[in-house]
Structure 1
Amino acid sequence: MTKSEFEQVILQQKDKLYRFAFSILKNSDDAQDAVQEVVLKLWKNKHLLDRAKNLESYCLNAVKNHCFDVLRKQKQQQNYEQNVWVNATTEPEIEQLDLVEKLKQELYRLPDQQRLAVSLRDIEGFDYSEISEILEQSVETIRVNVSRGRKKLVELFKEELKDAYQ
């Protein structure tokens, strides 16, 4: 793969890679750093990219793996800070957020596998087989995680949804 081919492929993927990294890391700077690190790794191993069946899935999988590594390191170093942030978010503060912000907040509180599956399916628009390839899980597992994640979000938003449709 030549430099110009690499640049063209990565430039097409850059925004999607960033959104995916952000959905995992929940921090813009960390997501940008993650994408930059992955792009550097991909460049160093560009000879492997020609063998990838689906380059988009390969890149997303590389971002996912890197982000989980970052999260593991952050958890070891900042476990206390993360707990303080989660505990500091009280119900009155959440009620003041508009519906979209509340949805984002609640989406980020879903278990990782549900959050990733729902984000990839409902926000990024991937089909179940693509998500299965990206997350390296069976299609049935992805369907279960999407279903459970959606059910939790619907349960949290029952009142807002009821008011919206009346």
Structure 2
Amino acid sequence: MNEETEQLLTELERIVTERQDWLFRFAYMRIGIREDAEDVVQEVLLGVFRRLREKTRVDNMEQYVIRAISNACTDYFRRKPLHVVLLDQAKEVAVSDHDKQIHEEFLRVNRLLDTLPREQSEIVRLKCYDDLTFKQIAELQDIPEATAKSRYRYAIMHVQQMMKKGEKR
């Protein structure tokens, strides 16, 4: 193993140690099922580890891992048959006390974000829940930074309008 590969593996180890909870939350907020989100993160990290051992070149390890998890979440829905659970039924899904808070947050956020176009809702998730900068979001989504900012702005405007409509009722 050469020195560059060893440095990349050390960087991956650091990311896993410092950001494992964040990576799980990132996947969970997209998938909504704890076990599946854990599996996605684990599979991605193992895949990244294998690719690094095969001397894959990576310029920004953290960005690489985040993008890989984002892509794996998208693939998760492509290969898994869509099982629709109505929000009222989702409240009845058994959730441990440990998961209750994050599950309730997931339901609340998804109710609002489901009213947005997918491109906008993903930007909001990346910005608000994953605490990424617009530059990082643009790189992750492979779009110009200005596009990321405008999608975010339109999404926030739409959510504000929805909240105002809810207040009037």
Report TM bin, short chain.
0.7 to 0.9
Per-residue deviation, residues 78-119 of structure 1 (Å, max 9, x unmatched): 3xx31xx24x649xxxxxxxx967741324413332222111
Q: Name 2:132's counterpart in structure 1.
A: 126
Asked if 1:140 corresponds to 2:146, the answer is: yes
Q: Using a 3 Å threshold, how does the CA distance of structure 1 residues 9 and 101 change in structure 2: closer, same or farther?
A: closer
Return the TM-score normalized by structure 2: 0.72
Partner residue, 2:28: 22
Q: Which residues of structure 1 form unaligned runs of 5+?
A: 91-98
* Shift of residue 49, structure 1, vs aligned partner: 7.8
Match among 43, 62, 66 for residue 68 of structure 2: 62
- Match in the other structure for 1:104: 109
Cα gap change, 1:104 to 1:150, in 2 (>3 Å): same
Q: Closer, same or farther in 2 for the Cα pair 1:22/1:33, shift >3 Å?
A: same
Q: Is the 8 A contact 1:23 1:116 kept in 2?
A: no
CA distance in 2, matches of 1:155, 1:103: 16
Distance 1:100 1:69 in 2: 23
- How far apart are the structure 2 equivalents of 1:64 and 1:143? 19
In the TM superposition, residue 52 of structure 1 has moved relative to its aligned partner by 2.3
Pick aligned residue for 2:157 from 144, 151, 157 = 151
Equivalences for residues 42-57 of structure 1 within 5 A? 42-47=48-53, 51-57=57-63
Tell me the residue number matched to 1:9. Answer: 15
Normalising by structure 1, we get a TM-score of 0.73
Kept after mapping to 1: 8 A contact 2:9/2:49: no
- The CA distance in 2 between the partners of 1:142 and 1:35, in whole Å, is 25
Question: Aligned to 1:157, what secondary structure does the other structure show?
Answer: helix
| Alpha-carbon distance between aligned partners in 2 of 1:114 and 1:156, rounded to the nearest angstrom | 15
| 8 Å contact kept, 1:106–1:153 | no
- Cross-structure match for 1:96: none
Give the Cα–Cα distance (whole angstroms) in 2 for the partners of residues 37 and 4 of structure 1.
16
Higher helix fraction (1 or 2) = 1
